[in-house]
Amino acid sequence: MTPSDETTADLTVMISGGFALAYAAVLPDFERETGLKVRTLSGASQGQGPRTIRHQLAHGARVDVVILSNEGLHELTQEGRILAGSAMALATAPLGAAVRAGTPHPAIDTVAALARTLAQARLVVMPGSTSGLFIQETVLPRLGIADTVRKRVFPRGTDSAAALAAGEADLALGPVSELVDVPGVEVVGALPDAVQLVQTFTAAILADSLALAPARRLIAHLVSDRVAAAIRRTGMEPVAGG
C-alpha cells in the first residue's frame, strides 16, 4: 500500500496488519469505481511505541478512517476519538502459527503439542499488538512456558513474518490473516481452541474527520458482499451484515 499524497487524497485511512491484505486487494476497485483517492497509512492496533495507531493519532496524524482490532478500537473510543455510531465490524481472524517455507510443519493441534513445539523452538516471533499481548499474557502462561520460551516481539506482524522468512526464527504466531500470502512463510494452522483468540477487525470514522461522505462510502464497500471473497482468501471470515 503506497500512501497517496496528502494534498490530493479525498480520504485518509490508517489500518493495522490484520485486515491489510484484504484491504489492499479491494481498494483499487473502490478507487476506480468512485473516483476517490485514498491515502493509506499503517499502525498497530495496540501496544507501545510510535508505530501504534493510538500514538500516531495522539501526535497529530490526520486520519478519517481507522481499521483495527476491536480491542484497539475500544481504547480509541474511550478517548473520544471515534464518531459515535460509525463503527462497522468487517471480519474475524483466528490466531495461527507459521514456519519458514520449506521447513517441516510442527504439531500445534493440541495444547500439549503446541507447548512442546514452542518450548523446542530456537526463537518464536510475534507482533506486539493485540495478538502478541494475548499470546504473552494468556497463552504462554496457560501453557506453563512463559518464562522459558525463547521469543522476540516486533512492533508489527509484518516485521515478525519477515524475521521468520529470513530464517531468524523457527515459528511466528499471530492472526492468520497476517501470515498468509507472505513470501517465504507457510501457515501451519490455527491455534487450539483452548488458547485461541478470534479477533474482530472493525472500521470506524474519526470524530474530527472532514471527509464523512467518502469515509462512509469506503466502509460500505468493505462490508459489501463483493469483498467477502477477498476476506476469505486472507484466512478471515466476513462478519455477516457488517
Is the separation of the CB atoms in 14 and 32 below 8 Å? no
pLDDT digits (tens, 9 = 90+) for 176-216: 999 998 999 999 999 999 999 999 999 999 999 999 999 99
Q: Which fold has domain 11-92+200-238?
A: D-Maltodextrin-Binding Protein; domain 2 (3.40.190)
Is the separation of the CB atoms in 12 and 62 below 8 Å? yes
Take residue 87 and report the three cell numbers written for it. Answer: 463503527
pLDDT digits (tens, 9 = 90+) for 113-145: 999 999 999 999 999 889 999 999 999 999 999
pLDDT digits (tens, 9 = 90+) for 64-95: 999 999 999 999 999 999 999 999 999 999 99
Q: Residue 242: is its pLDDT beyond 80?
A: no
95-195: CATH, from 3.40.190.10, 3.30.470.10, 3.40.50.2020, 3.50.50.60:
3.40.190.10
Q: What is the pTM of this model?
A: 0.89
Is the separation of the CB atoms in 210 and 68 below 8 Å? no
Q: Please give the distance of CA 19 from its chain centroid, rounded to a whole number.
A: 5
**pLDDT at position 155, please?**
84
Is the separation of the CB atoms in 58 and 29 below 8 Å? no
DSSP 62: -
**pLDDT at position 203, please?**
98
**Domain boundaries for CATH 3.40.190.10 within the chain:** 11-92+200-238, 95-195
| Residues in a beta bridge with 14 | 41, 66
Please give the Cα distance from 139 to 97 (Å, whole number): 13
Query: What is the average pLDDT value for the chain, to the nearest integer?
Result: 94
* Window from 10-14, 168-172, 222-226 with minimum mean pLDDT: 222-226
**pLDDT at position 3, please?**
58
